[in-house]
Amino acid sequence: MDALDILTNKEAVVPYFQPIFNADEQVIAGYEVLGRFHDHGEVISLGPFFEDSSVPDEYKIEIDERITESALEYALNEQQQPMLFINRDADLLMLDQGEGLLSLLLDYKERGLDLKRIAVEITEHRFTGDFERLQHMILYYRTYGIKIAAAGIGRESSNLGRIGRMSPDILKISLQPLKMSADTAAYNDVLYSISLLARKIGAAILFEDIEANFQLQYAWRNSGRYYQGFYLAKSAPGFIEKNLQKEKLSSEFHQFIVHEKRKLETFYELSEQFYKRIHHLAEKWIKLCGTQDELVERLAKELTDCSFRIYICDADGFQTTGNVYREKDSWVIQEQYKHKNWSWRPYFLENLMKMRIGRRGFFSDLYSDIETGETIRTYSYPLSDGHYLFIDLSYQYLYEQNGML
């Protein structure tokens, strides 16, 4: 549709509201405000209008203000005041340092609007202006209680450093890549980095584009506090019943919890079985082997069914043996790894301390091996002489053990 047709028929521009559900109560916590255009009985999304680079900025700003004002007017007339997520192109917002939108919000505050219920969505990776000025504007908005949501994360490349500096209240992550990409492991790695960032800056995670049950489960498992997508509710011209999906969400969460508990129980059972196996083998071969190198070679032959790399480190993380590494059907000694230090690895020294105090072995989280690129786990086990045994478990073995992946 031509931009002039929209501008000359502004009365046909209306807000639609996409529900956003929360995890703690399983009810609608807020709505994203979307622009729609009524054209001879058809409701058309204004997304293409705002994304069209040929449309002058002043046209976009004018329509943006029309949608926002109509949405705020509607919200004031409703008894409930859910959160309202207002989309803004950061470049357009900064043309007047955000004063236009803020002035509009303050006008409605005088009429009873709670600005703590407003979240301004900004897509960081599309911003081309001075980032420090954007930061100052964000801080200014926050003095009024307005929240900031960093949108579009996971849909396109985002600069986590800039997002960290923005310190948004909400990180909005698209689950569309999970549906389109077969490389789920890579997406999991990216999401893990984002979840760590969210925890560091105290931001809640909102997952959008949820179109199927498996995406909802993925969002729940990955610390999502808010959920949005057609699987839960489509956008509508007004607010809908707050408890609309409470029964559905509660039921599905229960299934997720049951499944997760079953996995954890299986994992702990496997951990106990593996500990007993390694404890027995270590006790047996420590008595029979004269050196640590001989010990890891003996253990390797006993663990051919599950491991591809075994070595021993001291309490400072220095490797006191070479690697015993499996190549196809045979084990080889990699002497070049002796005396290498691994204390720089995440949680390495923390894990040594856990073993020293607990006197038990344990499995690491899943991670990608630096050399093979495989998804693996490492089993760490404390030896009686202040040294620590590390057993890298292959993806094939983990796959065969229900509950290890």
CB 15 within 8 Å of CB 65: no
Decide: 389 and 381 in contact? Cβ < 8 Å: yes
Q: Return the closest-CA partner of residue 335 out of 317, 318, 355, 321.
A: 321
DSSP type of residue 342:
-
Residues 342-400 pLDDT 10s: 999 888 999 999 999 999 999 999 888 988 889 899 999 999 889 999 999 999 999 99
- The secondary structure element, H or E, covering residue 233 is none
Matching fold, domains 3-230 and 259-400: no
Alpha-carbon distance 137 to 151, whole Å?
Answer: 17
**Is residue 216 within 8 Å of 231, Cβ to Cβ?**
yes
C-alpha span between 178 and 218 (Å, rounded): 9
Instruction: Mention the CATH class of domain 259-400.
Output: alpha beta
Coil, strand or helix: which one is 273? helix
Burial class of residue 119 in the structure, from the number of CB atoms within 10 Å of its CB (0-12 exposed, 13-18 middle, 19+ buried): buried
- Domain 3-230 - what CATH class? alpha beta
Note the helical H segments in 12-98.
47-51, 57-77, 90-93
Q: What DSSP assignment string belongs to 148-213?
A: EEEEEETTB---HHHHHHH--SEEEEE-HHHHH-S-HHHHHHHHHHHHHHHHHHT-EEEEE---SH
- Tokens in use for 334? 């990699």
Q: What is the SS3 assignment for 119?
A: strand
**pLDDT tens over the chain, length 405 residues:** 788 889 999 999 999 999 999 999 999 999 999 999 999 889 999 999 999 999 999 999 999 999 999 999 999 998 788 999 999 999 999 999 999 999 999 999 999 999 999 999 998 778 889 999 999 999 999 999 999 999 988 665 567 788 888 999 999 998 887 766 556 667 777 788 888 889 999 999 999 999 999 999 999 999 999 999 999 999 999 999 999 999 999 999 999 999 999 999 999 999 999 999 999 999 999 999 999 999 999 999 999 999 999 999 999 999 999 999 999 889 999 999 999 999 998 889 999 999 999 999 999 998 889 888 898 999 999 998 899 999 999 999 999 988 788
How is the chain split into domains, by residue range?
A: 3-230, 259-400
Pull the structure tokens for residue 138: 């964000």
